[in-house]
Amino acid sequence: MEDTWAARDLPVLAATVGLLEQSYMVTVTDIAARTGLAEQDVARSLEALDPVYVDFRKTTTGGDPTFWYVHKATPAARQAVGQWPTGDTLISRLADELSAAARAEHDSERKGLLSYAARLVGDTLREVSVRAADAVLGPAVASMAPSEPDPAPPADRPG
């Protein structure tokens, strides 16, 4: 898809996921207000994102998208906007947190152990750690995922 598609769809997706944290459904009007985009542009984005990223529902309104709504966002949507971790992002965060804990530790033995754990998880054993994290996260993602395979996030879709 062209760059304007990516430029419009990712902000629509991020706004939708954020708004769904506050409400069980979000209208095109809500998303338009959050993004500053026109309702027609939001509706086009949601149509492109449905069903892999969102469950978009159109009501009978004669083509007026004002009351069309999103019922839910998928795990793929949450991953695309950084809300749901991937194995790689989880391991990066874990290694960063272990490093921060090591820097804050006053006991030299614990400081050394925390630093070593951060290096093991984030560097030496990173590949194994990411596979393990993917295995742990995988069942949760698979249980909520749509039936289609997970495509690239909207910004990365080819034209």
Look at residue 153 and tell me whether its pLDDT is greater than 80: no
92: nearest Cα among 74, 118, 112, 110: 118
Question: Do the beta carbons of residue 64 and residue 70 sit within 8 Å?
Answer: no
Which pLDDT value is given to residue 42?
Answer: 94
pLDDT above 70 covers what percent of the chain? 82
Q: What is the mean pLDDT of the chain?
A: 83
Spell out the CATH class of 3-83: mainly alpha
Residue 61: its pLDDT value, please? 80
Q: What is the pLDDT of residues 54-88, one digit of tens each?
A: 999 998 888 888 889 999 998 888 878 877 778 88
pLDDT confidence of residue 2: 39
Q: Which two tokens stand for residue 50?
A: 């449905």
Fill in the DSSP letter of residue 61: S
pTM for the structure as a whole: 0.57
Cα diameter, the chain: 70
